[in-house]
């Protein structure tokens, strides 16, 4: 099985920011909906779409960070195996 890696400080901060954006966005959307009298209006739709865009951007950032960490771990493993190969090659000669 694959190794489990520890989460970085950036990933923890991103989780906190994501949760805050979700909660505050929901509260703001609720306020706009109440202020508009429970009707669908242009302001309400703008608020919802901007909130959804922020959520999507956070998701894309998380995916990018995960891919970056995966690539770095793969490169580290390759570097270790190359180092071991070079050490074994020098011992043979």
- Asked whether the beta carbons of 5 and 73 are under 8 A apart, the reply is yes
Residue range 1-25, pLDDT digits in tens: 456 777 778 888 888 988 998 999 8
The domain tally of the chain equals 1
Residue range 58-81, pLDDT digits in tens: 889 888 888 888 888 888 889 999
Note whether residue 71 is domain-resident: yes
- Asked whether the beta carbons of 14 and 61 are under 8 A apart, the reply is yes
Range of the domain at 50: 9-92
Q: What is the pTM of this model?
A: 0.70
Distance CA 67, CA 53 (A): 21
Note whether residue 68 is domain-resident: yes
Structure tokens belonging to residue 85: 């190969």
Note whether residue 4 is domain-resident: no
């Amino acid at each position: 099985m694959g190794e489990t890696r520890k989460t970085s400080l950036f990933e923890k901060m991103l989780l906190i920011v994501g949760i805050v954006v979700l909660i505050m966005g929901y509260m703001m959307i609720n306020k706009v909906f109440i202020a508009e009298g429970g009707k669908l209006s242009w302001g309400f739709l703008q608020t919802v779409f901007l909130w959804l865009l922020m959520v999507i951007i956070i998701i894309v950032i998380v995916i990018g960070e995960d891919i970056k960490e995966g690539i770095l771990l793969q490169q580290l493993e390759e570097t270790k195996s190359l180092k071991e190969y070079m050490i074994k090659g020098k011992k043979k000669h």
